[in-house]
A and B are shown apart, each in its own frame.
Chain A
């Protein structure tokens, strides 16, 4: 009953009939901590799946279980339909890129890339050719004889990727591959990474704590919390239809409204009441407490109409707006807000507000950011269309 369309859509992209990678009921405990707690997941052939979550949520352990660097307490790992649960890492045919790259310091760049080919028994001449190919692919063809410590962090990351891909593994596993890099190069390398992955069509799992990175390059994103999957879906699904308050606050920014379902209406306290049928996905809600999410860009600020009269008059107007859209084209929630601060962000600025005593955040575009900043400390009108409310099914 609480399943939203977004939850059903997670099976949609590509074919999951015969997934490139699948884990079933994986559990791993470290002492008293359940690092991975009953995780089941399928990754389509050629798909890039990103796993995000706060540090300590178990995402790295999940990746290490897939690679065979840890043994699960229970559950299974399947790569292209073959059960590899009991196999050591060297027999799983995975490529792994470590957070700090873990390049062998006692070998040259070329020897690092060649290492996996040697272990696979690829004959010498072919090896040399493949090493050159891989290094050319990541644009480091001229640095083959260098030692890893003579490279920049970005170059080291590229070598680590080339090394992992050289033996043509079935699955590519990336453990925070970009977190050791500067912000600017991080953005460029994540585009390169995505391009390479798409060109090779390799099934990939990317673990990151950076939700922006995940949303930018993944086909689908998994949000993990305390060892469990919170939600799986495309970046847009996770952003637009988060299932839990945790996902809603971890992916993007948001404002939260507490309400009470009473019969055919939802009562949002000082914001007023709205009809249940007007709110997307709220029709079937039983009576009881409910939380709604409002994304910052769904908040409309009336920056150009000066709020004539006293703040009390403004509140009266907000109340009437909430009561059912009297005098408005659109049905929604309205309130008077005080501009607290504006953080300028180029094409989009974030406006911090105080509404009914709680902090709110609204996104404004272009020059509106400067206009909002000039109103700091003053009252403005705020409007949220009822169609922009997102009910969080499980709190």
Chain B
């Protein structure tokens, strides 16, 4: 209720809801933008620009620039079919993500059940699973002798080929992005004023008409912006396509990787990366415009009260959806776990785990498996700290000082998810050898992860800070608190839980990042997903599975820990008595 009136007040009176903006504040705002500017400029924009510049050179190493390469690329039927296929699989993947995301989002927004906060925090785990782990899970689950086909064979007597088809790619992408669409759908649904649906009912609308006329228009912006984001990810996808699509399928990102790492044709790779960046940035801009429009229209004056999940008679269809989702999300993950404890000689054993904590694998990995786990945790913590600091400062400035949405600036901040990480890694490897050579080895990987996590901090932290009523800060100030004091006493405690969740997300993203780490890490800097990759390359599937299980445990554990901490903070703030 408070939130809503503040929104109205800020429309009606330009000054209401904000703090005083003087010349001093303008300097403060610029200062707060500095961390994000340094991070993105030096570790994203300049390296990417360096990499993409190659695409404009007349000839390798030549100083003269032209668009010749782009003209010939866009006239090449092979490249055009590649572009078409990339967009088509991304479209199908986004569509399937929506099919999965809507019921899940409905469940999270409209039903309460025991352990809901844990489920809510674990829903995002697939999203931060390393692609290589997902691919592994899909191989085990959907392979010719996987669970899925064994089940089909015993029930109906036939098997289907899933791997190396378009559907393997699409289903794996939906595994990743379904949770994303679900969370954005959930957000839109929770904001929808229940009185709107109720008034439609009292005006004589049947449930289906209510859904069509009120609910759907209200959640559509959330669903569509989730779908657009999923489209961008799938458009950029690379390890999934490479490992599950087989040789028949290739996307732009796979082609860029092949050109760069196998054919060493940097110029063509750069030109393709530029084309890809333009397309995905365009979608990123569309996403932001959609999202900016979404919240206010149907905003709720009354909290939506989820009702308890009912039995089969009432919520039967929801239980069916749940069962399907459980198999869909749980299956691949469980497959990996089972695979990791399967003894090659038959039976169950923990030998794979023994192997990955022993020193015996230094040869493939370049470092002991234990060291790779240490690396992952350390890089994750540093990367999360970097992204959180830069991102929180950035959000603070845009919410408290600018106080209106700037789609262009936001697109710039979102760019790290819309640019080929192969191109970024290439640009960075050049930069680290040249102008950025002074950056210590140990923070290079965390910095890259920080750049890639930055857009997520911005996305996660903005709604949290917007939810802190600016009048609370004003109240603190009229009671004698300075600007800094008011921040520490009011904004920080209220945003604490949001910061925790953002930290966990960044940590998860860093721990699971594969492409850039694979291209940049020195032997002693190998991380967990890279070691999964190396185990697979060495055909040691059970060790790969064991490492993947540890990886899932780490990311899941961090999410759970963040949720528990957040719950603790909420409880503590609730019962706080100072006097």
Contacts and interface: CB of A to CB of B under 8 A. Distances in A.
B577 A167 contact: no
Contacts of B1: 100
B493 interface: yes
A254 interface: no
Nearest to A166: B479
B287 to A, nearest CB: 29
Contacts of B474: 67, 69, 89, 96, 98, 102
B376 to A, nearest CB: 34
A70 interface: yes
B72 interface: no
Nearest to A32: B14
A38 B16 CA distance: 20
A356 interface: no
B482 A128 contact: no
A353 to B, nearest CB: 37
B579 interface: yes
A195 interface: no
A69 B578 contact: no
A107 interface: yes
Interface string B453-484: 00000000000000001011011111111110
Interface centre among A90, A98, A103, A173 (most CB of B within 10 A): A90
Interface string A50-68: 0000011000110010011
Interface stretch (A12-20, A110-118, A210-218, A287-295): A110-118
Label chain A's interface by main secondary structure: mixed
Contact of B576 (A55, A96, A108): A108
A60 B479 contact: no
A69 B477 contact: yes
B524 interface: no
Given A30-B13, A64-B15, A127-B579, A163 B471 contact: no
Given A71-B22, A88-B477, A100-B471, A60 B579 contact: no
B262 interface: no
Contact of B478 (A89, A99, A127): A89
Interface centre among B20, B482, B493 (most CB of A within 10 A): B20
Interface string A8-37: 000000000000000000001011010100
A147 B482 contact: no
A106 interface: yes
Interface string B486-501: 0001100110000000
A30 B17 CA distance: 14
A68 B20 contact: yes
Contacts of B481: 90, 115, 119
A95 interface: yes
A91 B478 CA distance: 8
Contacts of A115: 476, 479, 481, 489
B574 interface: yes
Interface in B84-142: none
Nearest to A144: B579
Given A67-B478, A68-B20, A98 B576 contact: no
B574 A147 contact: yes
Range class of the B interface residue count: 35 or more
A105 interface: yes
Interface centre among A102, A145, A173 (most CB of B within 10 A): A102
B485 interface: yes
Interface string B543-579: 0000000000000000000000000000001101111
A31 B13 CA distance: 11
A104 interface: yes
A90 B480 CA distance: 4
Contacts of B483: 88
B144 interface: no
A363 interface: no
A41 B338 CA distance: 79
A102 B578 contact: no
A116 B490 CA distance: 13
Range class of the A interface residue count: 35 or more
Contact of B472 (A28, A91, A95, A104): A104
B145 interface: no
B409 to A, nearest CB: 21
Contacts of A105: 472, 494
A35 B13 contact: yes
Nearest to B6: A100
A71 B20 contact: yes
Interface in A241-290: none
Nearest to A89: B477
Nearest to B473: A102
Interface string A349-389: 00000000000000000000000000000000000000000
Nearest to B474: A69
A110 B576 CA distance: 10
B5 interface: yes
A56 B12 contact: yes
Interface centre among A35, A104, A145 (most CB of B within 10 A): A104
Contacts of B579: 108, 110-111, 113-114, 127-128, 131, 144
Given A107-B578, A110-B579, A164-B478, A56 B13 contact: yes
A105 B471 CA distance: 12
A88 B24 CA distance: 12
A55 B483 CA distance: 29
A120 interface: yes
Contact of A104 (B476, B478, B480): B476
Given A102-B471, A111-B577, A61 B15 contact: yes
A94 interface: yes
A23 B578 CA distance: 38
A343 B299 CA distance: 37
Contacts of A163: 475, 479
Interface of A: 28, 30-31, 33, 35, 55-56, 60-61, 64, 67-71, 88-92, 94-96, 98-100, 102-108, 110-111, 113-116, 119-120, 127-128, 131, 144-145, 147, 163-164, 167, 173
Interface of B: 1-2, 5-6, 12-16, 19-20, 22, 469, 471-472, 474-483, 485, 489-490, 493-494, 573-574, 576-579
Given A61-B13, A88-B482, A99-B5, 19 more contacts: A60-B13, A60-B16, A67-B478, A68-B477, A69-B478, A71-B20, A89-B20, A91-B480, A98-B471, A106-B573, A107-B578, A108-B578, A110-B578, A111-B577, A115-B476, A119-B479, A144-B577, A163-B475, A167-B479
14 contacts: A60-B16, A69-B477, A70-B15, A90-B477, A90-B479, A102-B469, A102-B474, A106-B493, A107-B576, A108-B577, A111-B576, A111-B577, A116-B479, A116-B480
